[in-house]
Amino acid sequence: MPSATTPIQIDGSYGEGGGQIIRTSLSLSAITGQPFEITNIRAGRSKPGLQPQHLAAVRAAQIICCAHLEGDSIGSTRLAFSPGTPVQPGTYRFEIGTAGAATLVAQTVLCPLGLANGDSEVTIVGGTHVPHAPPADYLLGSYIPAIRATGLEACGDYSRAGFFPKGGGEIRLAIRARARPGAVAMTERGALRSLTAFIVTSELPDHVFDRGASTVDGYMKGIGRRVDIERREKPSLGPGAAVVLSAECENGLAGFSSLGERGKPMEKVAEQACRDFLAWWKTGAAVDEHLSDQLVLPAVLTPGEHRWTTPMVTEHLRTAVWVAGKFVPLEYDFEEQAPDVHLVRLRS
């Protein structure tokens, strides 16, 4: 039965005003059992309201906690979500049906299932390498390793790639019940332990990979960095390419990606990811700006003080903290330590 608790009211146009507000609310509601009502969903976007990938996250969150829904339709600018049970571990398959980001659906359910009383296996079908979302290689190579600091444990792979506009990629995750909670402590990143470039191609000639790999190798040699290059040739419903760099430091993690598109040479795709890595490296911050806002959810669900440094305090970061504060008691501050280094402190 839906909870009798008064729903938390959330303005979906606040801050960055996008799907992050929806996904963060879904995760926290499923975990805490608190219902919420969100209005003005994506009010400032060219297509306001719920789109297929947002609705896929809603339905996934609904399934894992038997939630009662209102407003769960394409284009809806209002959503009411009320968990019916604690999060249920198990075997799940979620199909977006479009090239909507499978990784964002994964991030919606990963923390709730990781805090459930048992292990889970999750398969998500949709876009694995699409604009405005972390690619599958970033999810597996940067995000999941980073949240292990909070005791959440998962691993996975993807058997098929899903590029825009056809999607059809498939991500599989094994999520283990959390054993030992811990705090995020990534402030001084230390030396670079490894730098890996994942060159992802589907339905393209071999020379596309070769050109991407040659560009990455040449760029990194030019700045005195060693890089391991891994080819990921994946089946897909259509052609596509991406370059994802994963940096692991003594006490920091970051990832950088660039997607191929018609008319964009593979050299440009590879160069963009390399330039983004170098820009981050010069700042001295321990995590990249995107990982910074993605750390908020696992951090606020883990007792203790969490600290990490990021190149900037983005609107996504501020919005994630604002939403989290609606569901859990939270203390936080952002401290500028240098023009390109900001310390994030969270305590819940």
Q: What span, in angstroms and rounded, lies between the C-alpha atoms of 348 and 345?
A: 10
2 upstream amide cis, omega within 30 of 0: no
Name the region of 203 (left: φ>0; alpha: ψ -120 to 50; beta: rest).
left
* C-alpha to C-alpha distance for 28 and 316, rounded to whole angstroms: 17
- Read off the tokens for 268: 């440009």
Query: Are the beta carbons of 102 and 125 closer than 8 angstroms?
Result: yes
Q: Are 304 and 149 in contact (CB under 8 A)?
A: no
Cα 168 versus chain centre, distance:
19
Question: Which amino acid, 18?
Answer: G
Annotated active-site residue in 54, 129, 306, 316: 316
> Phi/psi of residue 166, each to 5°?
-90, -30
Note if 132 is an active site residue: no
Catalytic residues: 316
